[in-house]
Amino acid sequence: MIADGEALLGLWFDGHTEDADDDNAVWTDDLPIFGLAFRWLDEYFAGRKPKVHVPIRLEGTPFREEIWALLREVPYGETVSYGELAHRLESKCADGRKVSARAVGGAVHHNPVGIIVPCHRVIGADGSLTGYAGGLDVKARLLRLEGVLEKPD
């Protein structure tokens, strides 16, 4: 996790910190924002929709920020396809621009606040599980936790 003291800037799985580089970072574990994030994660991994509000500041290209905002609108226990996210963004664009599912996938891949900004809820158009920074097994576990996928016998 990384924060600026007021907002969460990044949350990654172990070994997935490619976007966590910040030359101005000060490493500490006693920021109040971390307590909020840990409470959110505790609720989530207990199988409940978290009610804790974690302030987040997402920084990226305007396109990525638009996609990340759409990700935050995908409700707990639901999924959306990359193509559907592309259509949602197109419908918000007054200039009539077209957005490809592949471009959406690139933006989703660079989501700096995994789980809380729910990129794991994005699936293929055919309902298949596709790419996830934590691995497809983790994506499946998260979706099972939310009741999207059936738990294995």
* Tally of domains within the chain: 2
Distance CA 54, CA 42 (A): 13
Same domain, 71 and 141: yes
Same domain, 87 and 124: yes
| Residues 9 and 60: beta-carbon distance below 8 Å | no
CATH number of residue 133's parent domain: 1.10.10.10
Same domain, 39 and 75: no
Across 101-126, average pLDDT:
94
pLDDT tens for 37-53 read: 999 999 999 999 999 99
Amino acid found at 64:
R
Instruction: Select from 105, 112, 129 the least CA-distant residue to 16.
Output: 112
The strand pair at 122-123 and 2-3 is best described as: unpaired
pLDDT tens for 5-35 read: 889 999 987 766 555 555 555 566 678 999 9
Same domain, 41 and 86: no
Q: Which two tokens stand for residue 52?
A: 């804790």
Is the model more confident about 141 or about 94? 141
Residue 73, pLDDT > 90, answer: yes
For 6-15, b where at least 16 C-beta lie within 10 A, e where not — what string? eebbbbbeee
Q: Write phi, then psi, for 20 (nearest 5 degrees).
A: -90, 5
The answer as to whether 152 is a domain residue is: no
Report the catalytic residues: 119
**Terminal-residue alpha carbon distance, the chain:** 34
Same domain, 93 and 138: yes
Which of 55-64, 69-78, 111-120, 143-152 bottoms out in mean pLDDT, i.e. has the lowest?
Answer: 143-152
The answer as to whether 11 is a domain residue is: yes
Domain span including residue 28: 2-45
